[in-house]
């Protein structure tokens, strides 16, 4: 059975009663590993209200956890100053948008929350884990004037982006979190996902009996054997495992592993 078939047949057992009430049988988060071989396009996402009006979709809040990055690697997040819509339009016309953007130097373990309306891009060489609302609505505003195999520029959505863009400079995106070993460290709590950082250097069991939600574990370093009352699986860097809402506990047998724990 594929994952959606399992959800359709056992929605509450897999997702949790509260998740089903909110999202029915649509899985509410997407997990991605993004390995940027080159600078990725500069884009943003609309909020729920605009996405519903235009696309009958949710908007997209997301977070990034940097798993690996070379020296001098960076991310683009927001503008480097508060600007007006007219200044943004002028920069697109004159091909100077890059001069208005904020560049964040990054290293392994850095984490960021990308709110709706926040212009952003992933720089070359960065490997990261992305956690986001289930939404496919992206407004691309610049792609470095690259052309495809047919010598055509990639489609942009500059006009649609205008109503979604946050033109204010806000230093509200870098996530400050504890890295205490062998306990759960809060990173992000928002209506669409909660994320904790867990660094284990010994075996550990986590009580899930009071959690009315599925739980996803994303391995960002190391490995472990993950076990519940229904079986076990080996989890390695760059892999994820989902623990169904009906599970009462999860245990990790490991000498060292770094995890992102995602639930609703």
103: its two tokens: 């560049």
Q: What's the CA gap between 221 and 219, in Å, rounded?
A: 6
How does DSSP classify residue 170? -
| Cα of 23 vs its chain's centroid, Å | 19
Locate tokens 């994820």: which residue?
240
Alpha helices in the chain (DSSP H): 3-9, 11-15, 17-23, 48-55, 85-94, 158-162
Give yes or no: 22 in active site.
no
Beta bridge partners of 217: 241, 261
Q: What is the DSSP letter of 6?
A: H
Question: What SS3 state is found at 48?
Answer: helix
CA dist., res. 41 & res. 43, Å (int) = 6
Q: Which helix or strand (DSSP H or E) is residue 175 part of?
A: none
DSSP secondary-structure letter at 174? B
Q: How far apart (Å, rounded) are the C-alpha atoms in residues 240 and 261?
A: 10
Residues 107 and 87: beta-carbon distance below 8 Å: no
Of 54, 140, 174, 180, which residue is the catalytic one?
Answer: 140
Give every CB contact of residue 110 below 8 A, 6+ residues apart in sequence.
65, 66, 69, 104, 174
Q: Tell me the catalytic residues.
A: 140
């Amino acid at each position: 059975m594929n994952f959606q078939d399992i959800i359709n047949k056992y929605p509450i057992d897999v997702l949790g009663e509260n998740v089903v009430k909110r999202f029915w049988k649509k899985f509410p988060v997407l997990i991605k590993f993004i390995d940027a071989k080159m600078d990725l396009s500069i884009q943003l996402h609309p909020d729920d209200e605009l996405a519903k009006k235009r696309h009958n979709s949710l908007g997209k809040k997301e977070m990034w956890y940097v798993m690996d990055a070379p020296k001098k690697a960076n991310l683009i997040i927001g503008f480097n100053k508060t600007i007006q819509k007219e200044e943004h339009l002028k920069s697109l016309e004159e091909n100077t948008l890059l001069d208005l953007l904020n560049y964040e130097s990054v290293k392994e373990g850095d984490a960021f929350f990308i709110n709706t309306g926040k212009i952003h891009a992933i720089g070359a060489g960065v490997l990261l884990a992305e956690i986001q609302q289930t939404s496919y609505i992206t407004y691309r505003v610049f792609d470095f004037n690259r052309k495809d195999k047919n010598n055509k520029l990639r489609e942009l959505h500059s006009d649609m982006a205008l109503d979604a863009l946050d033109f204010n400079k806000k230093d509200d995106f870098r996530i400050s979190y504890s890295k205490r070993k062998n306990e759960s460290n809060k990173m992000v709590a928002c209506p669409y996902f909660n994320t904790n950082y867990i660094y284990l250097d010994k075996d550990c069991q986590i009580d899930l009996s009071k959690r009315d939600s599925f739980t996803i574990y994303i391995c960002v370093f190391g490995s472990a054997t993950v076990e519940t009352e229904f079986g076990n699986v080996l989890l390695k860097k760059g892999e994820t495992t989902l623990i169904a809402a009906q599970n009462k506990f999860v245990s990790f047998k490991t000498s060292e592993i770094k995890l992102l724990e995602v639930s609703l």
